[in-house]
């Protein structure tokens, strides 16, 4: 199982510091974008990142209304994948098509209370699935264990799906996460807010191997 450091901040200086830290131990990160509308919190804007060189491959998790408005800018800063919430746009298939037309992969984020039946029609249209194991929009929120039951059900229905999980991942639950059938886990505060982020990242790798 892959460990993907997750960057969530509303300050450019902190963003740059987190990127500098991450490049010491990984080549791939997730960057969270929140608009304060789709979710209560607000993170760094794409405008703030224009012209910023990001020396890592990245996926963007959009917790925003009007995801289409973000796509061209995400392409310009080097995003390899865009993960959207299907509830954020009345025509998610069109957003997915726009992502692909820009040469990026498309992922679908699934909230803790979302049933598989609600997004089943989109399964064949995207490259990956990100199950949120916290309510989206808050850094360091507690893990919701029942999400692993949904992951197991989804894995049973779609055995070849590429599945990620995001939120509240810790060294205490990482083995259960892997056993549920997860391919990659996004970890934010338990890497970046630790005294030695590289050591924390390596501890997650070791515990999930």
Residue 32 annotated to the active site: yes
Would you tell me how many other CB atoms lie within 10 Å of the CB of residue 142?
A: 12
Q: Which residues of the chain have pLDDT under 70?
A: 137-140
From 32, 47, 57, 91, active-site residue:
32
Residue 172 annotated to the active site: no
Residues 164, 74, 197, 23, CA torsion sign: positive
Separation CA 112–CA 135 (nearest Å): 7
Look at residue 164 in the predicted model and tell me its pLDDT.
98
For residues 117 and 154, the answer to whether their CB atoms sit within 8 Å is no
Look at residue 170 in the predicted model and tell me its pLDDT.
95
From 10, 166, 172, 196, active-site residue:
166
Separation CA 46–CA 49 (nearest Å): 5
Look at residue 140 in the predicted model and tell me its pLDDT.
61
The percent of the chain in helix, strand and coil, each rounded to the nearest 5, is 40, 25, 40
CATH topology of domain 2-207: TIM Barrel (3.20.20)
User: Which is nearest to 5 in space by CA: 172, 23, 143, 128?
Assistant: 23
Domain extents for the chain? 2-207
User: Which is nearest to 75 in space by CA: 99, 39, 96, 108?
Assistant: 99
């Amino acid at each position: 199982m892959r460990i993907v450091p997750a960057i969530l901040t509303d300050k450019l200086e902190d963003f740059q510091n987190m990127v500098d830290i991450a490049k010491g131990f990984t080549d791939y990160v997730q960057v969270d974008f929140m608009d304060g509308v789709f979710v209560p919190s607000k993170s760094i804007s794409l405008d703030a990142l224009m012209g910023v060189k990001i020396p890592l491959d990245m996926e963007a998790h959009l917790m925003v209304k009007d995801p289409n408005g973000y796509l061209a800018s995400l392409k310009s800063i080097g995003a390899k994948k865009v993960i959207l919430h299907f509830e954020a746009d009345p025509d998610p298939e069109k957003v997915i098509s726009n992502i692909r037309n820009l040469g990026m992969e498309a992922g679908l984020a699934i909230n803790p209370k979302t049933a598989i039946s609600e997004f089943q029609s989109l399964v064949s249209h995207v490259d990956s699935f990100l199950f949120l194991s916290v309510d989206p929009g808050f850094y360091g929120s507690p893990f919701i264990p029942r999400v692993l039951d949904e992951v197991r059900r989804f894995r049973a229905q779609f055995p070849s799906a590429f599945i990620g999980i995001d939120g509240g991942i810790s060294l205490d639950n990482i083995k259960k996460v892997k056993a549920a059938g997860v391919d990659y886990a996004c970890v934010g505060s338990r890497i970046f807010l630790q005294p030695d982020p590289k050591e924390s990242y390596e501890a997650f790798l070791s515990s999930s191997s």
